[in-house]
Amino acid sequence: MWQTPLNPVRALELLAAGQWAGSGVRGPEPFDARPFLELMARPEADGGYGQHWGLGER
């Protein structure tokens, strides 16, 4: 349950830092996922969230 608010918080951080930009109402699709995933995986000591992610095809 605690993970629910983290996605919007990360998105706001990227918008505030200028890594994501745009005007109007947008969904996540037009934005590059790489900065989001890097912020998510970055250690907490380095300003990230320490949540490693992965992708597996089955």
Cβ-based neighbours of 37, under 8 Å, separated by 6 or more = 53
> Given this model, what pLDDT does residue 1 score?
59
Tens of pLDDT along the chain (58 residues)? 567 888 888 999 999 999 999 888 888 889 999 999 999 999 999 999 998 888 899 8
**Three-state SS sequence of 1-58:** CCCCCHHHHHHHHHHHHCCCCCCCCCCCCCCCHHHHHHHHHCCHHHCCCCCCCCCCCC
